[in-house]
Amino acid sequence: MTAGFVSEASPGERRVAMAPSAISVFNKTGIELVMETGSGVAAGFPDRDYTAKGVRLASRAEVFAAADVLLQVRSPGANPATGADDLALMRSGQTVIGLGEPLTAIDAARALAARGVSFLAMELMPRITRAQSMDALSSMATISGYKAVLLAADALPRMFPMLMTAAGTVAPAKVLVIGAGVAGLQAIATARRLGAVVSGYDIRSAVKEQIESLGARFIVLDVAAAAAEDKGGYAKAMGEDFYRRQREALGDVLAEQNVVITTAAVPGKRAPVLITAEMAARMAPGSVIVDIAAEHGGNCELTRPGETVEADGVRILGPLNLPSAIPYHASQMYARNIAAFLKYLVKDGKLALHPEDEIVKETLVTHAGEIVHSRIRELAG
């Protein structure tokens, strides 16, 4: 069996689906690897690092033609700019593994099914013990949480740590992280390392211990929440009444912060608005909001995806594709996730897509000319 990967064609995407450090996973699987020449250069991996591991170089068209399994970072659904060009190179019976935003890119799912491609979406990986090594969303969220703090520190007109100098004492910055998922916890840890006084808030009271273990203060709001997670471990959308009460309770907390980092996202839905323009205006001039959820509409009412907005002296950053800003380690982590997944799927040298397997059932979007994932079939009508 041959697995292939190519340069990512989506504008601004610097990651690559396979890093040299992850290739050892395939040593005993019998899988041969073929790659488009130069695929890893943008991420910091020259071709020689791959060929030294036995990877064969080819043109883009040759990789698509040779690969039984195509490994991508952004498959057509997650690449609206050039995904159609990749789709035209795919063939019936081919398997594609990558990020594809299947809960929103329904037309791409239909097109993959019509092409006869079996598509497995990395975003749909269930959060169960067996699949931990394959959880690409958590890996990329780790990168996003880290990078968001660096963006905030760069934009803030003050330093994060407390410093005692001959010129007097410099007070530490106050940072609030909203959402204590993987991205939020990494943001808390990074802000703490930089010396800030950090607080964390999440509607799930169960994460209080995790926030405090990182040296941050857990913010308690008098806002009751029902179950905030679905059975797969992902966030559930709450009702608008809950978000209204949450915004009211958060207003006083925000007014005390120098930096706010928001991370709340719900798969397949618009990100909830947690910070209104009025709430942002209560923050001191020079304060910074970094909205990690900008790609999904944003947690701040003022967020403009891909832009930095200034309102009442407060800067609101809406960064897109943060993992691509640190492509070397983002690619390493993603490659290990996708390699572990492919190794799991290969039995006796062949790809085995057994629908009764929980991991396959949750990630397989299209197969044998149809959309087979129950939730996506429902969304597709």
**What is the residue-averaged pLDDT of the chain?**
94
Active site residue 138: yes
Amino acid letter for position 335: A
- Are both 220 and 350 inside the same structural domain? no
In a domain, 279, yes or no: yes
Residues 158-179 have a mean pLDDT of: 95
Active site residue 7: no
CATH code of the domain containing 16: 3.40.50.720
- Are both 299 and 197 inside the same structural domain? yes
- Are both 311 and 247 inside the same structural domain? yes
- Are both 246 and 340 inside the same structural domain? no
> Which is the catalytic residue, given 135, 144, 246, 331?
135
Residue 237: predicted pLDDT: 64
> Which is the catalytic residue, given 138, 186, 199, 324?
138
- Among the candidates 289, 305, 324, a domain finishes at 324
Q: Dihedral sign for Cα 350, 351, 352, 357, please.
A: positive
- Are both 77 and 143 inside the same structural domain? no
Burial label, 61 (beta-carbon count in 10 A; 0-12, 13-18, 19+)? exposed
The Cα–Cα gap between 244 and 170 comes to 36
The Cα–Cα gap between 232 and 210 comes to 20
Task: Give the residue numbers spanning the domain of 339.
Answer: 2-124+331-367
* pLDDT at residue 197 greater than cutoff 90: yes
User: Which of 49-53, 213-217, 252-256 is predicted least confidently?
Assistant: 252-256
In a domain, 155, yes or no: yes
How many folded domains does the chain comprise? Answer: 2
* 47 Rama sector, left if φ>0, alpha if ψ -120 to 50, beta otherwise: alpha
Task: Report residue 322 as tokens.
Answer: 């943060």
- Are both 316 and 363 inside the same structural domain? no
* Model pLDDT for residues 121-131, shown as the tens digit of each residue: 999 999 999 99
- Are both 76 and 212 inside the same structural domain? no
- Are both 120 and 149 inside the same structural domain? no
Residue 240: predicted pLDDT: 74
> Which is the catalytic residue, given 56, 68, 110, 127?
127
Active site residue 205: no
- Are both 315 and 336 inside the same structural domain? no
Higher pLDDT, 28 or 237: 28
- Are both 156 and 233 inside the same structural domain? yes
The Cα–Cα gap between 170 and 161 comes to 8
- Are both 158 and 104 inside the same structural domain? no
Active site residue 210: no
> Which is the catalytic residue, given 24, 59, 92, 132?
132
Active site residue 135: yes
Residues 80-92 have a mean pLDDT of: 96
> Which is the catalytic residue, given 204, 234, 243, 245?
234
- Are both 237 and 300 inside the same structural domain? yes
